[in-house]
Structure 1
């Protein structure tokens, strides 16, 4: 298998990353942002598919996976600090012309990053520039995620499972749910603190790079009108493409990596 990992220091944090050692395509290197509470292994399927076409780099945010936490054993709970950490990682890795892709909270964050930093292109999956808090995973529940009497894993099991699409293969489902078992309450709290009432719509006009928006239609948590809000605001983007994928859900990068890779490849070929 071509995937290899390593560590770099980013702002004093020992940060774990993985790469598929793919060719340095002139379109740029693909930098991958994981979903809330999870880590870079979510991109293994895509890394394997793209091994001979694109260089991909996925890394664990602070307090996630194999990356060390911030001082005090916490994650990043502010979206501007999150975006800066991502960009600082890109600089440390000497990545030129980064193509930023993300899913869930990562899919939200790529909007802010594209608004703020010079990326070559962005791909948002199951993300939005504006999230209205809803459901049991938000509000006061976020405050309880690192409470000693609350199990992050058990309290999010049914919620995460409800986000999977009906076409999700059994092995992908098992991996997604194993991710729930491994979640750290403090890391999840940091991510959902960003996710809860996230809103960067006022700056959407600052995005000039090509943008691809992908929606697994079985994801009830990110309704289609969120995507239309984004498209309406990105008036200065070089191009905006919206793709809907029936049968798959919130964890589309794990549920259907081959579908996502085809959409991204087609998008980049025309970019």
Structure 2
């Protein structure tokens, strides 16, 4: 089994944890809202023979220290810039970017705005996700709300019926170990994300993947995003029957095979 290595790097003066696996062209992978990079480990191991996959924990997530004042980032553009700073420190000036949910949105945003990005794989990613109200988000850090209990049914309903048992179990663990401030900040960024006007700036190859059982980021939302990628050198949209909102965690083998097929087609 390929070795996954974890270490810390200082980004903007804060200790940031990341894991890396494999050798070859770099892939920056972004975790979903409120979670951390371990959810990518299955995919990391399967891509390791051809790619170096690098997965950070965003500030205040997993093992990464929060920002000053115990805060987390709350805007998609701010998170994307932080990821650019991280990539400049750890990867260099050329990488493929992938992510899921909020991470999928961020992958599209980075592909539109950063010249270092040479390919995008967006899982459950869209350019417009007005999905959460401010009232719901405010309650996530209310002293009388246990987000772990309040979020369990919501999060687990997003897991597809064809998920592996390991993927389902770790999805549940993600809820049990939730950090409310991190979840709130990420979902503020997700719910306010509107990068539709930037999609025409994407010129690199793009893969959009959609789990058929995801009711939050709908197929219609992903298809609308695809229609706005008018200048991308290659666009592919791949349905993933039986999977939900976390395909890379639910079925790493299927997602890795899909990614490798796309990389071959795109020359990445």
TM-score, scaled relative to structure 2? 0.96
Give runs of aligned pairs for residues 190-229 of structure 1, distance below 5 A.
Answer: 190-229=185-224
* Runs of 4 or more consecutive aligned structure 1 residues displaced over 2 Å after TM superposition: none
Query: Does structure 2 conserve the Cα–Cα contact (< 8 Å) formed by 1:49 and 1:261?
Result: yes
Aligned to 2:161: 166
Measured in 2, the distance between the counterparts of 1:265 and 1:94 equals: 20
Aligned to 1:48: 45
Aligned to 1:130: 128
Query: Does structure 2 conserve the Cα–Cα contact (< 8 Å) formed by 1:133 and 1:139?
Result: no
Query: Does structure 1 conserve the Cα–Cα contact (< 8 Å) formed by 2:26 and 2:91?
Result: no
Aligned to 2:57: 60
Q: 1:171: how far off?
A: 2.0
Q: 1:109: how far off?
A: 1.0
Q: 1:94: how far off?
A: 3.6
User: What is the aligned length?
Assistant: 264
- Aligned with residue 26 of structure 2, among 22, 26, 29: 29
Q: Which runs of 5+ in 1 are unaligned?
A: none
Query: Does structure 2 conserve the Cα–Cα contact (< 8 Å) formed by 1:29 and 1:96?
Result: no
Q: 1:173: how far off?
A: 0.8
Measured in 1, the distance between the counterparts of 2:96 and 2:65 equals: 25
TM-score, scaled relative to structure 1? 0.95
Q: Which runs of 5+ in 2 are unaligned?
A: none
Give runs of aligned pairs for residues 1-271 of structure 1, distance below 5 A.
Answer: 1=1, 2-20=3-21, 22-24=22-24, 28-118=25-115, 119-133=117-131, 138-271=133-266
Q: 1:95: how far off?
A: 2.7
Give CA deviations for 1:120-150 in whole Å, capped at 9, x if unaligned: 101110110101225xxx4311111111111
Measured in 1, the distance between the counterparts of 2:125 and 2:200 equals: 17
